[in-house]
Structures are given as structure tokens and as C-alpha cells.
């Protein structure tokens, strides 16, 4: 039998580009009804450590797993929760390292917005 890790990886590759562990579990369970939450988390962590996934942790909301490995940041709609990639036209980590005056082990950045469609909906409701 195919390992759950491989299976989970194949599912996430064909899923929307930003997905939470719970959403992924739901997707997987369509085919494998007895897949356990713990297994999903364990394997997602493993895949992150292998460098096959990125995990975006943002305060207050569930972690989002991302299959895009090239450097980019994220903007999330505070109303509907949708996530969009943002390419910065400069090397943020160098700027931060310089400003901090010491080596960084990591940094975490998330931007918040009200996305265009939520904004439009809000307009309509006025």
C-alpha cells in the first residue's frame, strides 16, 4: 500500500495552492475515509522538513501549507480568509538582517487586507 505521506503529498499538489491541514484532511477523506488528523499533521511536518512544502503560520488562524517554494510573502483577507501570494521587489531578509544587526534564523511576515470581492460585497450592503 502507498504510504500516507506519498498520498497526502499527491493530494496537496493537486489542491488549491494554499490549504490548511483540516481542509486537506477533508479532501483526502473523499478517497481514504479513515485517514487521521494526526497522520496529516505528522506527514505535513515531515514534508516541510524535507523542503517539499512551506508552512505559513500566522497568529490567530490555522497554518497554511504552500507548495510554492520560491521566496514570496502572503496577504490574507481578514474577512473571507483567502490567501494571495505577494512578490516583494526587494530582498526583505537582507533588509531585516541589516536593520537587526545580527543574523536571523527566520522571519515571519503576513499582511492583512479586505480583498476586492469582500470590499465590493461590503459596498453593496451599504
Partner DNA sequence: TTTTGTGCAAACTATTTGCAAACCG
Partner DNA sequence: CGGTTTGCAAATAGTTTGCACAAAA
List interacting residues with a second copy (CB under 8 A): 57-60, 63, 73, 75, 78, 86-90, 95-96, 99-100, 102-116
Q: How far is the CB of 107 from a second copy (least distance, A)?
A: 4
Our CB check for a second copy shows the closer of 70 and 90 to be: 90
Cβ atoms of 24 and 11 closer than 8 Å: yes
Q: Which one of the spans 19-27, 68-76, 88-96, 108-116 is the region binding DNA (CB under 7 A)? A: 19-27
**For residues 40-79, which are near DNA according to CB under 7 A?**
41-43, 45, 57, 61-63
Task: Evaluate whether 100 touches 64 at the Cβ level (below 8 Å).
Answer: no
Given DNA, a second copy, none, residue 21, with its beta carbon under 5 to 8 Å by kind, binds DNA
The answer to whether 20 and 57 are in contact (CB under 8 A) is no
User: Cα Rg for the chain, rounded, in angstroms?
Assistant: 17
Amino acid at each position: 500500500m502507498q504510504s500516507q505521506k506519498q498520498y497526502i503529498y499527491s493530494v496537496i499538489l493537486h489542491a488549491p495552492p494554499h490549504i490548511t491541514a483540516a481542509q486537506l484532511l477533508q479532501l483526502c477523506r473523499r478517497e481514504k475515509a479513515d485517514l487521521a488528523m494526526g497522520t496529516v499533521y505528522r506527514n505535513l511536518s515531515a514534508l516541510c522538513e524535507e523542503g517539499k512544502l512551506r508552512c505559513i503560520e500566522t497568529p490567530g488562524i490555522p497554518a497554511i501549507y504552500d507548495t510554492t517554494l520560491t521566496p514570496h510573502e502572503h496577504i490574507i483577507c481578514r474577512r473571507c480568509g483567502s490567501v494571495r501570494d505577494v512578490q516583494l521587489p526587494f530582498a526583505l531578509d537582507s533588509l531585516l538582517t541589516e536593520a537587526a544587526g545580527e543574523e536571523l534564523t527566520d522571519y515571519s511576515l503576513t499582511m492583512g487586507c479586505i480583498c476586492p470581492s469582500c470590499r465590493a460585497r461590503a459596498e453593496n450592503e451599504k
